[in-house]
Amino acid sequence: MTQQDVQWSTEINNRVDVRVARTRAAVLDAGARLLFTEGWHAVTHLRVAEEAGVGRATMYRHWPTVEDLLADVLVDCQEPWEAAEPTGDLRVDLITELDVFVGALQLSKLPEIIVAAMERAPTDPRIQAMHESMTRISRHPVWTVAQAPIERGELDPELTEEIVAAHTLGPILYQRLFDGQHVTRSDIERTVDAFLTAFAT
Amino acid sequence: MTQQDVQWSTEINNRVDVRVARTRAAVLDAGARLLFTEGWHAVTHLRVAEEAGVGRATMYRHWPTVEDLLADVLVDCQEPWEAAEPTGDLRVDLITELDVFVGALQLSKLPEIIVAAMERAPTDPRIQAMHESMTRISRHPVWTVAQAPIERGELDPELTEEIVAAHTLGPILYQRLFDGQHVTRSDIERTVDAFLTAFAT
DNA sequence: GGTTTCTGAGACGATTTGACTCACAACACG
DNA sequence: CGTGTTGTGAGTCAAATCGTCTCAGAAACC
């Protein structure tokens, strides 16, 4: 990187230059659009610059490498995970959470993001970190719901966050990734019931 | 494709030219190596040619596009799925099959292959077909084992191949893909027991 | 041993990649 | 509201890559 490290300091006095904000927004938006329509190999400086109506040089100023760009795009297009209100009924709450999960899988392009991140994760620590954070975020809701029943002894006390995730998110994700088909309400209920039957004490 | 379609007909009188075989073997081997070490974006004509010690022109002769190349690499590095001898004990047989599955996941770079295939599948019908065949192959063993008990009424008669796969391979694959950690014997047993508990009649 | 045919080296134009410059417009700040 | 600062776009540049093609030589086939 011969060019000066941070000439446009992004924020001065805690204030972001309007132009910078505009550029970033346009680019990240265009990047996400390309990622979802053409796959992650379409996310290059050139393509995104064209798509965003932004100069190519500007791209390189903000994101020196493709990894910088892709990492930002991935972070940006992660929709916030709205936590559902727990009713106290474990079965109902699990179904609700998995419903949200499936919604995210279907509406947003989470599978594409997951795959893109997984592909790059081995080589890029930033994306690896993002992948881990995504994993954590996705399993947090079901773990939160399951935690109390475990402590109360209604569920197998051996259960860990990883195991709960594997047996609730796992089957759902498998169906979405490999069968491609829509994950239906009854798929969710079957998964939850199987989990409860197997791990209820 | 201006160059004549098949000048080296690959086989003459059902016999493959030794040189062709050598080249193909070297290239597919190098391609797999690159795929597993640097990810699938490293599988380009140039890189593979260097890695395999083969002329670049030769690459283009055999595999005009990157998709041709990658598809062949993927097909080639799929190890044959040796079917285990069923004992008749459902639990034992399922554990055995999942053991084989986990072995394939750990030894071969199946996850990398899966991810690579998934990434390209939407754009390339050949890779999509390969992805589907891979899916079919992977779930065939567990389905075979589960089928008889279902017919005998020992397992939920509603069970389909997709559902069985989702609830056996799903959790295992999730752990491998997202936790990255080694899938242990007890993980397999837990998965099988959960499945049996949930779906035994 | 003669013929076929596969290979490697290299050349080629076209395209892509990063890096850089510079004039200009838009912002921030007094 | 004017002035100085700073991000931006257009465009240039060398280097690398892509896909194609030619050609001589080596090696396989018969």
Check if the beta carbon of residue B161 is closer than 8 Å to that of residue B117.
no
CA A52 – CA A45 distance, rounded (Å): 10
- Residue A154 CB-density burial (10 A; 0-12 exposed, 13-18 middle, 19+ buried): middle
**Which of B38, B129, B121 is CA-nearest to residue A112?**
B121
**Claim to verify: residue A95 and residue A155 sit in the same structural domain:** yes
Of B39, B120, B162, nearest to A175 by CB-CB distance is B162
**Claim to verify: residue B116 and residue B163 sit in the same structural domain:** yes
Q: Is the CB of A19 under 7 A from strand D?
A: yes
Q: Is residue A131 part of a domain?
A: yes
CA A34 to chain CA centroid, nearest Å: 17
**Claim to verify: residue B193 and residue B103 sit in the same structural domain:** yes
Q: What is the pLDDT of residues A89-140, one digit of tens each?
A: 999 999 999 999 898 887 666 666 777 777 777 667 777 877 888 888 888 9
Question: Among residues A22, A46, A76, which one ends one of the domains?
Answer: A76
Domain region containing A26: 11-76
Q: Is residue B129 part of a domain?
A: yes
Q: What is the pLDDT of residues B144-181, one digit of tens each?
A: 999 999 999 999 999 999 999 999 999 999 998 887 77
Predicted confidence (pLDDT) at residue B46 exceeds the cutoff of 90: yes
Domain with residue A41: its CATH number is: 1.10.357.10
Q: Is residue A4 part of a domain?
A: no
Q: Is residue B167 part of a domain?
A: yes
**Claim to verify: residue A44 and residue A136 sit in the same structural domain:** no
Percentage of chain B modeled with pLDDT above 90: 55
Q: Is residue B103 part of a domain?
A: yes
Which helix (DSSP H) or strand (DSSP E) does residue B15 occupy? strand B15-16
CA B182 – CA B164 distance, rounded (Å): 23
Per-residue pLDDT 10s for chain A (201 aa) are 333 344 455 554 556 788 999 999 999 999 999 988 887 788 999 999 999 999 999 999 999 999 889 889 888 877 767 767 789 899 999 999 999 989 888 766 666 677 777 777 766 777 787 788 888 888 899 999 999 999 999 999 999 999 999 999 999 999 988 877 789 999 999 999 999 999 998
**Which of A201, A194, A192 is CA-nearest to residue A155?**
A201
**Claim to verify: residue B160 and residue B102 sit in the same structural domain:** yes
Q: Which residues contact B163 (CB under 8 A, 6 or more apart)?
A: A190
Task: Count the Cβ atoms, other than its own, within 10 Å of residue A138.
Answer: 20
CA B150 – CA B58 distance, rounded (Å): 53
**Claim to verify: residue A36 and residue A65 sit in the same structural domain:** yes
pLDDT at A4: 37
Q: What is the pLDDT of residues B78-88, one digit of tens each?
A: 777 776 788 98
**Claim to verify: residue A156 and residue A104 sit in the same structural domain:** yes
Most confident residue range from A85-89, B59-63, B112-116: B59-63
**Claim to verify: residue B123 and residue B171 sit in the same structural domain:** yes
Domain with residue A122: its CATH number is: 1.10.357
Contact of B143 with chain A, judged by CB distance below 8 Å, is answered with no
pLDDT at A17: 80
- Covered bases, chain C (protein CB within 7 Å): 5-11, 16-21, 26-29
Q: CB < 7 Å to strand D — which of 25-64 in chain A?
A: 53-58, 61-62
